[in-house]
Every structure is written in C-alpha cells, then in structure tokens.
C-alpha cells in the first residue's frame, strides 16, 4: 500500500507543470492556496503595475532618503543643521543643465528621463524638516554653505536592478561628503505597487541557491503560536506566486504578539529564469535579497 501511495505521489509531482502548486518537493494540500495564487497571478499579469515593473522606472528606495554621498560618516552637527534648514547659497548654481538624461538598465536598454535643475534641487533639500523636535542650539548647528554643484551619477535600486542615475552633487563648505540630490524628475518615477486590500505578507524576500536553479530560498515571518508546515509555489510562464502554509496552534490561549522570522526553501517545477516572484498575501513582487525589506 505504501508503495502504491508513493507511486501516486510521484506521478502527481511529475505531472505538475505550469500552473501547478508545490510545497518543497511535495504537492501541497488543497486549502484555497491555488485559487488565491491564481487570482494574484491573473490580477498582476499584463496590468499597469506589471508593465511599469518590467519596462518602466520603479524605484525601490526613496530617491533622496538622507541626501549625502555614501562615503564616510556624516558629522552629527551636519545632520542637525540640515534637519533645521540651516542652508546658505554661496555660489551661482549651473544654469545650463540638460533637460533630459540617460538611464542605462542592466539588460542594456536605455531610457531618457526628464531632469530637474540644480536650483530646484537646492530649493527642495534646503527646506527645514516638517517636524523639528529641537531648534538649532548655539553650539549644535552651523550654517551649511553651498559653494558649488555639478551633475554626476549615483546608484539607485529599481525593479529592473540597481542603476546609475543622474544626480546633483553639491559641495558644502567644511563637509567632506557631497550633498546628493537625485536629478531625475519625480514625474518619471512610478510608485511601487500597492498591496492587495486586506492582504497579509506571507514571504518577505527570496534568493537563489547556488547550483540549484529550481529552488528558491525564502525569508518569512510567523507568529509565536504558529505552526509552519512549509512553503508553496504556484507557477505560470511569467510568474511564481509563493506562500507559507501556516496554522495557529494556540488552542485559544493568549499568544505573545511577536513576529519571528526564518528561512526555508521551495522547489519549482523548472528554474525561475526571468519570472517574477509574487507574494500570495499582498499580491506584489517579492524582492530578491534576504536582507532587504
């Protein structure tokens, strides 16, 4: 009898192809995941979000999160002064900057995007922060004097990979690092896709395993009272929808509100290739790199 069951399982696994559901190297139980995954795939495939993610300019990080070159440590007084808007323009800014610039994608394609002027960049970053907990103390802030600016490039993570984008690099008196402001006009950048309403994130990030092109390494979160049975994947020609098979095992007793994280693997019917990985809970792409959010 065991041999018959084993043979049936093998047949089911071999026969699963595009549109199939897998948990690890075994077929997942039918508990609604396949229907949910199919809905997620159909919602995404060919949508405006899909086109923008594959062919447009979707930034995976804030264009100007801190605004300083990522070299060395920024002195505390510089951050405090910048936060309070203690800027002074001590030089003429370039007035003949190009209206458009090139962005070269990892696959070799090139897009021309509109650029903002150095004057607009300065006007944007020189404003004081919306919330100032402490005004500039007499010995805690100094005037940040801008003595020059030039157009350069900085790395930016996008849905199509990390690219070098045009950016204004401002020289600030007494500060080793350049003040950086991405020069790409925000009108050229598409917002990251919104999560499906009411959806809960199942998988946080993924990565590939060396020498195992048909396996994905997944990072996921689970509750203190959850029992994790394994990962599942639903596959089409363009997408892979991933999910964690979990159940709450608290038996109605109080459970600490703690989110734990762990990693696991899921085996695909064929190598991932250039297919996107979507989270079944949120319906949006899962980013590659286990240390990312």
Burial classification of residue 275, based on how many CB atoms lie within 10 Å of its CB (0-12 exposed, 13-18 middle, 19 or more buried): middle
For residue range 120-138, list pLDDT tens digits in order.
Answer: 999 999 988 766 666 676 6
Q: Kindly indicate the confidence band of residue 292, based on its pLDDT and cuts at 50, 70 and 90.
A: low
pTM of the predicted model, to two decimals?
0.81
User: What is the average pLDDT value for the chain, to the nearest integer?
Assistant: 86
Q: What is the model's pLDDT at position 18? A: 41
Enumerate residues 6+ apart whose C-beta is below 8 A from 88: 143, 144, 145, 146
Q: What is the model's pLDDT at position 132? A: 65
Burial classification of residue 120, based on how many CB atoms lie within 10 Å of its CB (0-12 exposed, 13-18 middle, 19 or more buried): middle
Better-scored residue on pLDDT, 204 or 139 = 204
Residue 70 has pLDDT above 80, yes or no: no
Q: What are phi and psi of 10, to 5 degrees?
A: -65, -45
Q: What is the model's pLDDT at position 54? A: 95
Enumerate residues 6+ apart whose C-beta is below 8 A from 37: 21, 232, 234, 241, 243, 280
Residue 264 has pLDDT above 70, yes or no: yes
Burial classification of residue 45, based on how many CB atoms lie within 10 Å of its CB (0-12 exposed, 13-18 middle, 19 or more buried): middle
Residue 111 has pLDDT above 90, yes or no: yes
Q: What is the model's pLDDT at position 136? A: 74
Residue 5 has pLDDT above 80, yes or no: no
Q: What is the model's pLDDT at position 50? A: 97
Structural domains in the chain, CATH included, are 15-54+193-288 (no CATH), 58-188 (2.40.128)
Better-scored residue on pLDDT, 19 or 199 = 199
Which residue stretches of 16-164 are H helix?
Answer: 33-44, 48-55, 76-83, 118-125
For residue range 50-66, list pLDDT tens digits in order.
Answer: 999 999 999 999 888 76
Distance CA 234, CA 33 (A): 9
Residue 20 has pLDDT above 70, yes or no: no
Residue 189 has pLDDT above 70, yes or no: yes
Give percent of the chain with pLDDT exceeding 70.
84
Residue 97 has pLDDT above 80, yes or no: yes
Q: What is the model's pLDDT at position 246? A: 87
SS3 203: strand
Q: What is the model's pLDDT at position 213? A: 92
Output the six-digit token pair for 126: 């020189």
């Amino acid at each position: 009898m065991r041999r018959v069951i084993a043979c049936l399982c093998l047949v089911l696994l071999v026969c699963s192809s595009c549109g199939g559901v897998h948990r690890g190297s075994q077929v997942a139980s039918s508990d609604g995941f396949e229907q949910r995954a199919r809905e997620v795939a159909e919602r995404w495939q060919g949508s405006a979000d899909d086109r923008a993610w594959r062919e447009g300019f979707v930034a995976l990080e804030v264009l100007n999160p801190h605004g300083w070159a990522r070299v060395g440590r920024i002195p505390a007084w510089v951050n405090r002064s910048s936060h309070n808007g203690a800027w002074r323009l001590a030089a003429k800014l370039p007035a003949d900057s190009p209206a458009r610039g090139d962005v070269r994608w990892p696959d070799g394609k090139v897009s021309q995007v509109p650029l903002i002027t150095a004057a607009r960049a300065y006007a944007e970053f020189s404003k004081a922060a919306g919330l100032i907990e402490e005004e500039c103390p007499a010995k805690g802030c100094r005037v940040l004097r801008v003595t020059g600016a030039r157009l350069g490039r900085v790395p930016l993570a996008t849905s199509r990979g990390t690219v070098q984008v045009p950016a204004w690099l401002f020289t600030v008196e007494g500060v080793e690092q350049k003040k950086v402001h991405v020069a790409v006009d925000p009108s050229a950048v598409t917002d990251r896709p919104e999560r499906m309403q009411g959806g809960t994130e199942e998988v946080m990030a993924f990565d590939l395993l060396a020498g195992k092109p048909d396996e994905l390494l997944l990072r996921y979160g689970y509750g203190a009272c959850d029992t994790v049975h394994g990962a599942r994947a639903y596959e089409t020609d363009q997408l892979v929808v991933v999910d964690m098979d979990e159940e709450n095992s608290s038996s109605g007793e109080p459970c600490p509100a703690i989110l734990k994280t762990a990693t696991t693997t899921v085996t695909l019917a064929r190598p991932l290739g250039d297919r996107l990985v979507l989270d079944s809970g949120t319906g949006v792409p899962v980013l590659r790199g286990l240390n990312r959010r």
